[in-house]
Structure 1
């Protein structure tokens, strides 16, 4: 065959080419990103519709049905499944395979916006997300303390810690669970309201009008321009109690005269526990295209830095780390690959009983594997379990072909031919059969790539 004949006649070129493949393969191997599974985007999207206080029947009639009608009209939609709950509706949309999910979600958003005026005003903005099997938290953290209250932990976790984590490259989203938000409660005293002649509406209007911060204009100088901003955001109970809610006979009536203001927390909507104690949970999701292990390493390094600035008795605990699991999974496949290669070389030595044949077959293995990493890197794939399993299958085929070709060359040498002639004739004699065997195996696996659905 042409390739084998050229390699035999030009050994120097062949050796240089093999060394170059090994060098570039090693460079590509160290540049490859590591992940557990390949990123597959299934053609599914979900829509969450929040309608506070409505019954399931009301949610279905006023929100779910109109939105489903709009979504069904979108091109490429295969099935639409909606469910109505108490104050909430969920819609799962399946698109035809191959649909661009970014365009699909934008079209869903446009369709809902087109009928937004017909939907109840109390309905919150719809939450539209693309469903993705790999869109799971890769690092989960727990913020615990023996000295701080749950409210203090919440203020420490969000926004301080979450802001630091969101700034990391590759972190797409940081979710906080078990947090207790601060809430100022205004308890109106009916008898005091009646005595002062103040209505509940006046109190509400005063709270809305006076507790704000907004731009009110600008001042233009000779060389610059400065903005004027009203700093009216109140901070604590004492500030609210001094708020003026009405005026009667020239007397200012303040909120503290008709109500009690307490600094507390809102009713918790989620709960996080760690080692039988309350904590604030933190889930970190990675952005598409980033390596799980790389993002995990960045999060752990940032947590280590944040730990130094936490109050005494407070710590950030690593609850789950997918980066460690991914590294272990890929390492296991690598070890199995290496063990299989060593056993293959041992089998070659035992059956051919020739150290020369063993060395030749053993060299073909790393050269071919490292060369394959070049294409893996160029085509943008990652080093994950699926690609490594495919590589292990290819190694088996490679060793089979190498053993068959080498054994046939040895047979020609035993017939009394010199090594050059034996290599030429042995390869030409068996080369077409070996190529046909490899192409037959490819013919079995190639159609899998044309399966239209997952």
Structure 2
């Protein structure tokens, strides 16, 4: 703050009831805006980061896997009962299904205004009530469709020394549990490899002689291969929970399973009527990485988690786990969604810095005043920081649409401040005092500024009401642009005049005029013409 005559006069004005509002309220205005900027800076580190906006698509998918059951049986025993049962879910608009051999997918479509978390719970309840009526071998899964269902990171596990089934065991029992414990990770999906299993091949002749059917074998295996508790055992005034393990782990143990007992009391064991051997589950899809058979680990994030934080945690854990892998096993990333987000954030950062630099340079060249350049340059970061508050309150995230909106808004938010500052300098150079110049500029530009800023806001506002997939993307863009423009207008009419009384210096060569005196348009145009001729005449 300088000690010019204007400063002495400002102290005198502050004690008068008719002092300009931007001087009387300068401290509250600066305190409020700086406080909002600090809050926005804090929120910037808490807003989730993702590639796409947070979206709950009004769609729930029910997937069913039932081995190799024929299509006609799948339709009758699984697909149709599920379709009839889910019709009772409130808000359901449409049901579609696709049935193939051994699998079915039922898609449920709801209204965009539906609470999809509550709707998913209702669908799960319906499926749970229906489960006893479905075939016992059917595996049913339900999930709602969001952008979070797509992996954010993918790693490939390859080896020249270990077979695919060993790679699958490493991924399933060593890597997946560790990754699942990370904050923000929803699940880890494993693809590829060979799943180990025991293969039971019945002898038809022995089955016929013993009067045993294939369903008898299936029931015997399920009935025997389990862990159960016989209850509590009282011993020495203590209650002990009993636990019986009937799990089988070797072909020999499987062969000892009793399938049926003859009328004479002779047990028919599984090893007597079938051949048992270790094997792997059949695969119908080849998964490779770098031309080698591979096991893929796809990491899905939680819907409200931060993509960058999840990616950093996963990469850090993988770096810890790599040394503990068997020799010859390679774990390498093949997909990383956080790279796209990093690039988007970098582009916004560059746009902000370039915008501040260019606007400051242009203001210095035209107005030849570092103070005005500083006032205008501060508008961009303050506007963005206040915009972050609204993004946090509206549950938005940093994504391609919001970051794109911020980058596009950088060139617009500074316009209002430049117009106000240029007009203040124009009045100042015409001979008015600092306070008179600010008052004259606000008197002339308040209404035009409001109209010029409201115009693009009105263009973006209708995008907020759009529904569907299009509305999901453009709503984030519209919110960002609208809030940025409206904030820039408020800053131009409050922040800019308040700072100008401290940072915009009065020219020593300018003559002083009385408070009631106001320069005419000819004088203002003459000053502006002198500025431009001096700049272009260099």
TM-score range, shorter chain: 0.7 to 0.9
Contact 2:59 2:109 in 1 (8 A): yes
Take 1:27 and 1:247, find their aligned partners in 2: how far apart are those partners? 72
**Partner of residue 87, structure 1:** 102
The yes-or-no answer on 1:337 pairing with 2:349 is: no
Of residues 178, 193, 196 in structure 2, which corresponds to 1:179? 193
Task: Name the TM-score, length of structure 1 as normaliser.
Answer: 0.86
**Structure 2 residue 151 is the aligned partner of structure 1 residue 146:** no
Shift of 1:257: 5.8
What TM-score comes out, normalization by structure 2 length? Answer: 0.73
The Cα offsets for residues 315-338 of structure 1, whole Å up to 9 and x where unpaired, read as: 321111112221122212321232
Shift of 1:299: 1.1
Aligned 8 A contact 1:349 1:355 in 2: yes
- Residue of structure 2 aligned with 1:297, choices 312, 322, 347: 312
Please state if 1:165 is matched with 2:201.
no
Deviation at 1:86, TM superposition (A): 2.6
Identify the residue that residue 366 of structure 1 maps to in structure 2: 381
1:12-31 correspondence to structure 2 within 5 Å: 12-31=27-46
- Tell me the distance in 1 between the aligned counterparts of 2:29 and 2:347: 33
Question: When the two structures are aligned, how many residues end up with a matched partner?
Answer: 448
Are the aligned partners of 1:177 and 1:280 in contact in 2 as well (CA < 8 Å)?
A: yes
The 5 Å alignment of 1:367-446 reads: 367-446=382-461
Distance 2:390 2:163 in 1: 54
Q: Which has the higher contact order (CA 8 A, sep 6+)?
A: 1
Per-residue deviation at 1:162? 0.9
Q: CA deviation digits over 1:21-71, x for unaligned, max 9? A: 444443333343322222111212222344554444444455444543444
8 A contact 2:191–2:297 mirrored in 1: yes
- Structure 2: which 5+ runs fail to align? 1-18, 472-538
* Conserved? CA contact 2:193–2:293, under 8 Å: no
1:230-255: CA deviation from partner (whole Å, max 9, x where unpaired): 23322212334556678899998866
Whole-angstrom CA distance in 1 between matches of 2:206 and 2:387: 82
**8 Å CA contact retained: 2:63, 2:103:** yes
2-structure distance, mates of 1:286, 1:448: 28
Contact kept, 8 Å, 1:49 with 1:123, in 2: the verdict is no
In 2, Cα distance between equivalents of 1:214 and 1:320: 43
Matched, 1:451 2:466: yes
Partner of 2:16: none
- Secondary structure of the 2:149 match is coil
User: How far apart, in 2, do the equivalents of 1:204 and 1:434 lie?
Assistant: 79
Higher CA-based Rg: 2
Question: What corresponds to 1:238 in structure 2?
Answer: 252
Q: Which moved more, 1:199-208 or 1:257-266?
A: 199-208
Which has the higher mean CA deviation after the structures are superposed, 327-336 or 160-169?
327-336
Q: Is the 8 A contact 1:397 1:438 kept in 2?
A: no
Match of 1:357 in 2: 372
CA contact under 8 A between 1:178 and 1:281: conserved in structure 2? yes
Contact 1:177-1:271 at 8 Å conserved across structures = no
Task: Assess, with a 3 A threshold, how the Cα gap between structure 1 residues 310 and 211 changes in structure 2: closer, same or farther.
Answer: same
> What's the C-alpha RMSD, in Å, of the aligned pairs?
3.3
Select the residue among 46, 61, 72 that pairs with 1:46.
61
Q: Quote the offset at 1:97 in angstroms.
A: 1.6
Worse-superposed segment, 249-258 or 263-272: 249-258
Q: Given the alignment of the two structures, is residue 267 of structure 1 paired with residue 282 of structure 2, yes or no?
A: yes
Structure 2 CA distance for partners of 1:426 and 1:193, relative to 1, 3 Å? closer
User: Any conservation in 1 of the 2:351–2:410 contact (CA below 8 Å)?
Assistant: no
Residue in structure 1 matching 2:243, options 215, 226, 229: 229
CA deviation after TM superposition for structure 1 residue 432, in Å:
2.5
Aligned residue runs from structure 1 range 248-287, under 5 A: 259-287=274-302
**Structure 1 residues 436, 224: CA separation in 2 closer, same or farther (over 3 Å shift)?**
farther
Change (3 A) 1:82 1:191: closer
**Alpha carbons 2:153, 2:299 under 8 Å: kept:** yes
- Deviation track 1:117-151 (CA, whole Å, cap 9, x = no partner) reads 7x653672433221223420001111122222211
Task: Tell me how far apart the structure 2 counterparts of residues 254 and 361 of structure 1 sit (CA, whole Å).
Answer: 88
